[in-house]
Chain A
Amino acid sequence: MAHVGNLKEKPVITGVGCTKFGSVLETPEIKGLAFQELACEAAFEAMDEAGVDPKDIDAFYIGSMVSHISHLYSHHTQMADWLGLHLKPGLHFATACSTTNTGVGMAAMDIASGKFRNVLVLGCEILSSTATDDPTKRKALDPSQLWYWTDFGVDQAYGYHHSYDIATAYGGLPTLGYAKKYGVPMDKMDEAMFAVHKNVRLHGSKNKKAFVTTTLQQEAKKAGFKDAWSFWTGRKNPFLAWPTRAKSALNTVDGASAMVISSKKEAKKYFKKEPIEVAGFHWSSSNYPWYGSDPTQWDIDETTFKTAMKMAKIKAKDVGYLDVHDCMQIYQLIQPETCGYFKKGEAWKAFLEGRTTYKGDKPMNTSGGRHAKGHAFAASAGAEIYEAVKQMRGEAKGRQIKDEPEVSMVHNHGYGMHSAVTVLKR
């Protein structure tokens, strides 16, 4: 067990913000926005909701992952005046796809130390296109180039150069390993992954900020298939790495998310909504490979969940809403079993029984996850914290969990590999 540690004061999330996820080349709500503008949209929403002026923000952290695309580093210097935070302490940080989950913990420690009263955590990523030498123009990005840069996050000494295959390592083998370990026949496993994806799409269809807002049934009908299952098993959904199909993977998008983390004592003076307490968090780092002969056993996640839950003084049964990293949707089965939200070998059945939708007794990933909501690398975890806060406040219109969760837990992977878990309480 890692060192747990305790904060002298529990910080709270007072404001959250999130842009529409999509493409700045095509999606009407964000079309034509530059990095600075996209980031400001999320940050201003979070500051407005928190009821703080920029003068009340004592420090800010900006997360962004792929500098090759943004043509930026020192984001904090370039964004300080845009955010109204001129001369404030700021820094750029990244833990890849878990960045803005990690940022919550960083800000929480700042608040608990007494150094700062309000900290802005901001994540922004544009993956559809690269910046050019003209700041008003962007160039569409070839996906193979994006993955070349993304894979800089994976063991560049050895692992990457030994035929590294992301779709197999992160999707195919964990899916196959899950089926083998729990004796799930492969056709039944395909049905379980179909059920996971239907959830993803159901939730996306109810989230206006999601990238994909159609259900799987609607997409199947539009494509001329008789039903969703025919579409799932048909030519439009090939295997990315058997037994993982293309629809079980992420969609890369552009977007930004932001949170204001505050001192509970200070927030009481002005904050009118229910503050959400940052009750526990933890992070772990591991080089590739991330698992051994059992691809469902991720030590990195086990230790992170355990430590964050111990810090928050909660058990898995206390969690009313769970959001797990789902760049590959198999982790919607593996991670809830790792943290105890479901018993080992039970998650696949829960999905087939419909228990994990926003209407179910074990709701998960109600924003639509990294396929439907979309994956804007450093901004995605913040979007998932945003969703948890909205659910806890009863503000998740159209996909609201019936009983607003008292405790939520958000888990993320940061390529490759960082594990971050944040526990929120109200």
Chain B
Amino acid sequence: MEKMIEKFYKSLGKGKIYGTKCKGCGEFAFPPKAGCKKCGAHKMKWQQISGEGTLHLYSSGNLPPMKFAKYHPYAYGCVELKEGPCFFTQIEGVDVSSVEEIEKENEKLPRKAKAKVKKMAGMNIVVFKVVKSQAKKKSKKKSKK
């Protein structure tokens, strides 16, 4: 049996984010798994994710696990990967300073988000950062002119 968990985390250290794709039905799994959630097959191939996703919802809890307590408060949300699966992780680029801000930001969702590797609690993990909309960038440029 391949050491899949170790390979996933070691690859993050090299900036590569892998999932697995079922050789039978084509279902994508992220993070990598030995079996297919859809058809149950055990033949999977490694494939890097595009890193593109959509943030659907996020909030911030007051019961973080001990290893993440020092990062509290942080945004935690549901990102749907371009490849299909939903992944829950820390979200960057959104406000968690107050419940009013969290509510306001959630009204703007869904928004595009991009995966990145971040060192947290002594290990590399995958987080997502929301992508600033093009409309906003353009309006900023205009206002500068």
**Partner-B contacts on A (CB < 8 A):** 144, 147-148, 151, 157-169, 171-173, 176-177, 180, 186, 238-243, 288-289, 291-293, 295
Contacts and interface: CB of A to CB of B under 8 A. Distances in A.
B31 A289 contact: no
Interface string B105-131: 010001000000000110101110000
B89 A242 contact: no
Interface stretch (B41-49, B70-78, B137-145): B70-78
Given A144-B66, A240-B63, A242-B60, 20 more contacts: A160-B65, A161-B67, A161-B125, A162-B88, A163-B74, A163-B90, A163-B120, A164-B88, A165-B61, A165-B63, A165-B74, A165-B76, A167-B61, A168-B77, A186-B103, A241-B59, A241-B61, A243-B99, A293-B56, A295-B57
Nearest to A151: B65
A285 to B, nearest CB: 12
A163 B31 contact: no
Contact of B86 (A147, A172, A176, A293): A293
A238 B65 contact: no
B94 interface: no
B28 to A, nearest CB: 13
Nearest to A238: B62
B38 to A, nearest CB: 12
Given A163-B120, A163-B125, A241 B78 contact: no
Contacts of B58: 168, 173
A152 to B, nearest CB: 11
Nearest to B90: A163
A345 B39 CA distance: 31
A161 B123 contact: yes
B109 to A, nearest CB: 9
A163 B68 CA distance: 6
Contacts of A158: 5, 8, 31
A416 to B, nearest CB: 12
B90 A176 contact: no
A292 B60 contact: no
B61 A293 contact: no
A162 B89 contact: yes
B66 A148 contact: yes
A295 B57 CA distance: 9
Contacts of B121: 161
Interface residues of B, number: 40
Question: In the complex, which of the residues B31, B69, B126 has the most CB atoms of chain A within 10 Å of its own CB atom?
Answer: B31
Contacts of A147: 63, 65
A162 B90 contact: yes
Given A163-B71, A242-B99, A168 B80 contact: no
A171 B62 CA distance: 11
B15 interface: no
6 contacts: A151-B65, A168-B59, A173-B57, A242-B60, A243-B59, A291-B86
B26 to A, nearest CB: 18
A160 B89 CA distance: 9
B50 to A, nearest CB: 17
A158 B34 CA distance: 13
B63 A176 contact: no
B122 to A, nearest CB: 10
Contacts of B86: 289, 291-293
A242 B56 contact: no
A180 B78 CA distance: 15
Contacts of B103: 186, 242-243
Given A148-B66, A242-B99, A288 B61 contact: no
A173 B68 CA distance: 19
B121 to A, nearest CB: 8
A240 B90 CA distance: 17
Contact of B59 (A160, A161, A173, A289): A173
A354 B18 CA distance: 50
A283 B72 CA distance: 35
Contact of B62 (A163, A176, A177, A240): A240
Given A162-B125, A293-B56, A168 B65 contact: no
A57 B89 CA distance: 48
B56 to A, nearest CB: 4
Nearest to A171: B61
A292 B78 contact: yes
Contacts of B71: 163
